Structure 1
Amino acid sequence: MPLVLTEDEQMLVESLRSLLSRSAPVAAFRALRDSGDPKRYSPALWAELAEAGFAAPQVPEAEGGIGMGYAAAGLAAEEMGRVLAATPFLSTALAIELLIAAGDAGQKAALLPGLLDGSRLFALAIEEGGRHDPDTRATRATRDGAGWRIEGTKRFVLDGGVADGLIVATQGEDGPMLLLVDPGAPGVAVTPRASIDSRNAADIAFEGVSVGADAVLGGANGSADDAAAAIARALDVGRVLLAAELLGIAQEAFDRTVAYLKEREQFGVKIGTFQALQHRAARQYVALDLARSVVLKALRALDEGDKARSALASLAKAVTTRTAREAMNEAVQMHGGVGVTDEFDIGLFFKRARVAGETLGDDYFHRERLAKMVWGI
């Protein structure tokens, strides 16, 4: 399992970095935030990323993608994290993963092309409580003639306020079910949520929502076991991609902080010459280097079908959540008072790191998951 980038992966990073520096610098995210645009993302940027193959580089060629693997997707997420690019990258990755794992041929043919070219957005509605708990499903799907009737509420649905379609995780008669639902259908109430990172999320209530038999992901052959496996797989992919984004956020914040230490003067000297700050920066450098290795190992495990991929996904998410949190705390402190002002971009990175850290489980959630998974505690 190589923990270095291949030549193709290095070229991908360079190409995407060039595109993002031109089309999505941090200033563009700030302008989007200040504009009050309810979409909270740039459709033009997303279309440009999709056209270049960066929207979902992990999708196999057999499914219409470019087949560069999850490592490429992780590198893309990391670069987007470095510029705070507000895109539906994660929600699209989750939807694609579920479709490929559980969808039937007709569903894939109908939905995958639009997801890959950026013309359609689908959101996974899975969370129900205040914290990540994918095994809790109070939302129910009961028989309604030939179709199904959905009752329940989902919280913090990523891109739920702008999605063209929803993939809803419900509790069926025999176990979990994944249902395709039109957000504009009768009985669906979408309530956009204000998030501190200025991204799109929504609470979605389902009151007597009726869907046909063809709404079941996997069709007539879909089973609870297939749905459970697809959910577990998609969540692990999402966690590793979030870990990669958190790595990009933390690395960029660290780089900006080091640059600030080199230029800020106090008592007539650069504060970067203070030994105490040098030691703190050195510790952060080591933590980031470790986190990078963990993330790349988790991405390689997804590509290679490693049996430890689920444990590595939790390890990567736990490590990067903590590393990003510490990196942001250090960045704010080393910038001093200006670090907590809106004038400096550090605050934007801080907010995104906090939300991304909580999404799909924080470090405490994944430590507990690892303890159960690896040691049976």
Structure 2
Amino acid sequence: MALLNDEQVMLRDMAREWADNESPTTAFRKLRDAAPAKGFDPEAWNTIGQMGWAGILIPEEFGGSAFGYLSLGLVVEQLGRNLAVSPLSSTAVAASAIATGTSDAAKSDWLGKLASGEAVATLAIDEGPLHTGVDNLQTTVSGSSLSGAKKFVAEGDGADVFVVAAADGLYVVAKGEGVTVHTRRMADSRSHADVTFTNAPAEKLGGPELSRAIVDRATAVTTAEMLGMAENAFSQTLDYLKQRVQFGQVLSTFQALQHRMAKMKTEIELMRSAVEGALEAIDANRSDVDQAVSLAKAVANDTLRLVSREMVQLHGGVGMTDEYDAGLYLKRSAVLETMWGNASYHRDRFARLNGY
């Protein structure tokens, strides 16, 4: 478990309080049923911008706080607990790519707007249904024009600017000329657009090394959301077992169910260690960031898969109904497990990085 400073503790607690009071799962249900074109609540996003969370990875000279990835992870974890719909993760990591890149024009044009929440950004990386990293990409750039098709772009429906991986590196492309967004409907009721770029004006941020680094950072932030989901799915299941009576006894008194809950709790603690370890590795700019990230994603995939499915099982028949939250966590889990690579992909990557 990471050792947090006073600022990080305050940030985490503030995010938890806001998520519980302003963005519970009832807010997710309301947004799901309304199905807004952008895929999120602009008013809630504006509040997040005012609280400074969108600028956590942005340098102070551009209006951010430069608190680092562990701090961002703490906020994303708290939002993930309640399935809060927000473009925070995608915007923050895309902003980090712009801040790290070599384009002063892109920094000047976008970082201030992203830090304040005035604009939304996202990453456009994958070109097929499976994550294969940034190698063998078909997206190309001729002069200053970028062309290619990206699949399953998170928050793509409401993004104002895209950070796009091409064959020779990472580019920033503004929504508008040469950009076509096609909405996809997926199980988790979140925005996952397909985006086509046709001779879209592009500004280069860096080479393939930057692309790989940003994908690792996006992966680590995703595991933070998964950690929050696992924590709350476990808590809701435990609460249910403590009040549900069967055969004249409270379910939590059954030893077999106690063993299942104990296993989940242990796995979640291991998951926290791996997730926070990856975020700390990024902040420390360690040489083994790629290994730490793959370890975190593999563990997060396995753990959230276990907890979300046990949540449905241990709720019994009502766990299959929309009245309870179990199905919402199960659906979001299924999407996040595949985002940025499934467990098999990251186990294989971890082995290769270690020379196996």
**1:141-290 mapped onto 2 (5 Å cutoff):** 141-143=141-143, 147-148=144-145, 150-171=146-167, 176-186=168-178, 188-207=179-198, 209-211=199-201, 215-218=202-205, 226-290=206-270
* Cα 1:106–1:189 shift into 2, 3 Å: closer
Identity level (%): 37
TM-score (normalizing by structure 2): 0.95
Inter-partner Cα distance in structure 1 for 2:286 and 2:77: 22
Q: Which residue of 2 aligns with 1:352?
A: 332
More deviation in 132-141 or 108-117? 132-141
Inter-partner Cα distance in structure 2 for 1:163 and 1:27: 24
1:72: Cα distance to partner? 0.8
Q: Which residue of 1 aligns with 2:2?
A: 3
Inter-partner Cα distance in structure 2 for 1:299 and 1:151: 33
Inter-partner Cα distance in structure 2 for 1:103 and 1:341: 50
Q: Which residue of 1 aligns with 2:48?
A: 49
Q: Which residue of 2 aligns with 1:221?
A: none
1:251: Cα distance to partner? 0.6
Inter-partner Cα distance in structure 2 for 1:308 and 1:177: 21
Inter-partner Cα distance in structure 1 for 2:126 and 2:59: 28
* Cα 1:235–1:251 shift into 2, 3 Å: same
Q: Which residue of 2 aligns with 1:137?
A: 137
Inter-partner Cα distance in structure 1 for 2:224 and 2:314: 24
Contact 1:251 1:288 survives alignment (8 Å): yes
**1:109-148 mapped onto 2 (5 Å cutoff):** 109-134=108-133, 135-143=135-143, 147-148=144-145
Q: Which residue of 1 aligns with 2:87?
A: 88
Inter-partner Cα distance in structure 2 for 1:259 and 1:308: 39
Inter-partner Cα distance in structure 2 for 1:282 and 1:353: 21
* Cα 1:206–1:65 shift into 2, 3 Å: closer
Inter-partner Cα distance in structure 2 for 1:151 and 1:304: 35
Query: Which residues of structure 1 form unaligned runs of 5+?
Result: 219-225
Q: What is the DSSP-based 3-state SS (H/G/I as helix, E as strand, rest coil) of the residue aligned with 1:344?
A: coil
Contact 1:170 1:179 survives alignment (8 Å): yes
1:15: Cα distance to partner? 1.1
Q: Which residue of 2 aligns with 1:35?
A: 34
More deviation in 255-264 or 357-366? 357-366
Contact 1:183 1:190 survives alignment (8 Å): no
Contact 1:190 1:203 survives alignment (8 Å): yes
Deviations, residues 277-298 of structure 1 (Å, cap 9, x unaligned): 0000001111011111111111
Q: What is the DSSP-based 3-state SS (H/G/I as helix, E as strand, rest coil) of the residue aligned with 1:179?
A: strand
Counterpart code for 2:314: M
TM-score (normalizing by structure 1): 0.90
Counterpart code for 1:247: L
Q: What is the DSSP-based 3-state SS (H/G/I as helix, E as strand, rest coil) of the residue aligned with 2:315?
A: helix
1:63: Cα distance to partner? 4.2
Counterpart code for 2:225: E
Q: Which residue of 1 aligns with 2:292?
A: 312
Deviations, residues 215-257 of structure 1 (Å, cap 9, x unaligned): 3224xxxxxxx32122111111111111111010011000000
Deviations, residues 300-334 of structure 1 (Å, cap 9, x unaligned): 11111111112101111111111000001111100
Inter-partner Cα distance in structure 1 for 2:197 and 2:277: 39
Query: Which residues of structure 2 form unaligned runs of 5+?
Result: none
Counterpart code for 2:79: M
Contact 1:56 1:73 survives alignment (8 Å): no
1:210: Cα distance to partner? 4.6
Inter-partner Cα distance in structure 2 for 1:244 and 1:123: 17
* Cα 1:272–1:366 shift into 2, 3 Å: same
Are residue 333 (structure 1) and residue 324 (structure 2) matched?
A: no
Inter-partner Cα distance in structure 2 for 1:359 and 1:36: 22
* Cα 1:61–1:261 shift into 2, 3 Å: same
Q: What is the DSSP-based 3-state SS (H/G/I as helix, E as strand, rest coil) of the residue aligned with 2:129?
A: coil
* Cα 1:141–1:106 shift into 2, 3 Å: closer
* Cα 1:33–1:177 shift into 2, 3 Å: same
Q: Which residue of 2 aligns with 1:12?
A: 11
Q: Which residue of 2 aligns with 1:322?
A: 302
Contact 2:106 2:203 survives alignment (8 Å): no
Query: After TM superposition, which residue ranges in structure 1, 4 or more long, deviate above 4 angstroms?
Result: none
Inter-partner Cα distance in structure 1 for 2:13 and 2:265: 22
Contact 1:93 1:238 survives alignment (8 Å): no
